[in-house]
Structure 1
């Protein structure tokens, strides 16, 4: 049985979260009301996973994650308020080693979280399968545009990048290593709820040479521009011409239990984009992206998957590799270089 430590400064929230987990077959080994208690509880009880609030007295969730990863590395699932500040804090916690997050519906003290009990249990169980050798250590801060190519680039290249659990940090690394003169059109599908995708896009924009925004229905992007699929919407390539991609958002049924889905974007890109196309699948739980990789390979596009050793969760890349349609399987820090290789004019 999975054993968890539940951390929240609200007694009400600790009780509700613990009840949800216990009902879902997860044993709650201990509760903690702040980050300091959390660190001590993890050391004492050696749980399989920790659910961690962000805003707490004495030691907040971000500081607690950093301390846990340094002393008793344990998968941590952040429970974050659905606000801009909550989103920013969540990304910082993911940088420190947290493996995933779940947005609290209704704010810090949420009476609505019980209706999301299945999602919470699923996130907790998936977090236990995270490889902490990849998420518990920080890569050196990447410098944007650090990879150079030995050749010129083809005209009007497009790359579609898909990721889930553990993805934000890897997507950031990949995009920050792509030089602006590659003139890529970049479509990013990261499994993430609405509100968080806007902040994620802003973060990528600050840390890369590309102009990155959250996708909006009907928008067009050209070379040197990137879009992040908006949480709660599938992102389709609705049209392509003159090197510019037209985006369409829809609220069709979730695919593989998620919306946005990687497959939707990759399949539509394969149908519409007539210039060089590269598909990339990164760390994450599930099989989303496998069909999309097949579609891109089917139109003579290039395909790349992150390797198991550097994945937080080797689900999405593994399912894509099983299709036989992945050209290259590489560590996270070599993905950007391989993207550039696929678009070299004389490669």
Structure 2
């Protein structure tokens, strides 16, 4: 990366503005061009300074972060990363994602220097990724998509017993588009690993459940997989599958392996799915940074399963799908607007 990324920091706390600025300056590719203490000031500074990325607090006086996003996205979409405390503004974070924020970082509740700097690397990587996002990917997801029709004929040569989805940056918005399109009689279970900090996945699952015909739940130990159930991995635990003595397949939550970049990991879920379901797995890798899912996709392919990746044209960040395509693991690349129908046609 050669181009300097211009960042505007928005937070009502002078201390947090100072800390975020110091964190971002650990990268030679980032320049903080300004700071704002509320959404109204941020609107004015975006127009004056033309930043590439905004880091955004949510609870602020005069104009909060969600209202800033709604007004800014209506004028000129700009990549925004929410820096929030899950216990205080988790619902606002989800509203911000719906309004167009591309990602978020969990701000430690203890603002000691050593604690807040723990998020530095994560914040820098997310700012770098956000700076690459095209404006047309920054629109919100508040309009419920239409349910797609049931498949008339299969496009793949085998049916599946599980749809396993891996997704990261841009994931909340993409899933809010995809899952509500699937009909209530969807005939197989769906399992999802979505990279989120602890404290968000239950709230997100409940919100997605309200928008969908399918039942959407955060994963619980021993939960039985069944048709029409969407299970979202619990933040902080890997999502695995075990065949119970009664013949049912159930969710197993595990802290191991400990050496993965993410917990939950798409790789871990994919490998477990392949071990339990063999060739009857459809693995789907969608928008996100990094390469989580590549090793797991290789495992699914080795067992005879099928892999679909989201096409670059609709990815907020074309990282995870690209890693599979370049490794020769993707059977088909599909834009988001066609993903629901392709999934239906594969079962």
Q: Tell whether the 8 Å contact from 2:149 to 2:341 is kept in structure 1 after alignment.
A: yes
* Paired residues for 1:203-222 under 5 Å: 203-222=207-226
Query: Deviations for 1:185-228, whole angstroms, at most 9, x for unmatched residues?
Result: 11010011111011111112112122221112232221221211
Aligned to 1:269: 273
Q: Does 1:82 align with 2:86?
A: yes
Give the direction of change, closer, same or farther, for the CA distance of 1:293–1:155 in structure 2 (3 Å limit).
closer
Give the direction of change, closer, same or farther, for the CA distance of 1:156–1:331 in structure 2 (3 Å limit).
closer
Aligned to 2:150: 148
TM-score by length of 2: 0.90
Q: Which moved more, 1:303-312 or 1:241-250?
A: 241-250
Aligned to 2:253: 249
Give the direction of change, closer, same or farther, for the CA distance of 1:156–1:23 in structure 2 (3 Å limit).
closer
- Paired residues in the alignment total 340
Name the CA distance, whole Å, in 2 between partners of 1:278 and 1:242. 24
Aligned to 1:167: 171
In structure 2, which of residues 123, 131, 134 is the aligned counterpart of residue 131 of structure 1? Answer: 134
TM-score by length of 1: 0.90
Aligned to 2:70: 66
Give the direction of change, closer, same or farther, for the CA distance of 1:131–1:245 in structure 2 (3 Å limit).
farther
Query: Deviations for 1:113-159, whole angstroms, at most 9, x for unmatched residues?
Result: 2232222222222221223322236574224x44322259x987210
Give the direction of change, closer, same or farther, for the CA distance of 1:80–1:281 in structure 2 (3 Å limit).
same
Name the CA distance, whole Å, in 2 between partners of 1:79 and 1:183. 38
TM superposition shift of 1:254: 5.1
Q: Which moved more, 1:31-40 or 1:17-26?
A: 17-26
Aligned to 1:320: 324
Q: Does 1:230 align with 2:264?
A: no
Name the CA distance, whole Å, in 2 between partners of 1:78 and 1:110. 20
Give the direction of change, closer, same or farther, for the CA distance of 1:185–1:290 in structure 2 (3 Å limit).
same
Give the direction of change, closer, same or farther, for the CA distance of 1:158–1:253 in structure 2 (3 Å limit).
closer
In structure 2, which of residues 282, 296, 299 is the aligned counterpart of residue 295 of structure 1? Answer: 299
Gapped runs of 5+ residues in structure 1? none
Give the direction of change, closer, same or farther, for the CA distance of 1:295–1:156 in structure 2 (3 Å limit).
closer
Q: Does 1:106 align with 2:109?
A: yes
Q: Does 1:198 align with 2:219?
A: no
Runs of 4+ residues deviating >6 angstroms:
240-243
In structure 2, which of residues 9, 13, 16 is the aligned counterpart of residue 13 of structure 1? Answer: 16
TM superposition shift of 1:304: 1.1
Aligned to 1:3: 6
Gapped runs of 5+ residues in structure 2? none
Tell me the SS of whatever aligns to 1:51: strand
Give the direction of change, closer, same or farther, for the CA distance of 1:331–1:155 in structure 2 (3 Å limit).
closer
Name the CA distance, whole Å, in 1 between partners of 2:343 and 2:305. 11
Tell me the SS of whatever aligns to 2:97: helix
Name the CA distance, whole Å, in 2 between partners of 1:185 and 1:57. 44
Aligned to 1:94: 97
When the two chains are superposed, the root-mean-square deviation of aligned CA atoms in Å is 2.4
Aligned to 1:283: 287
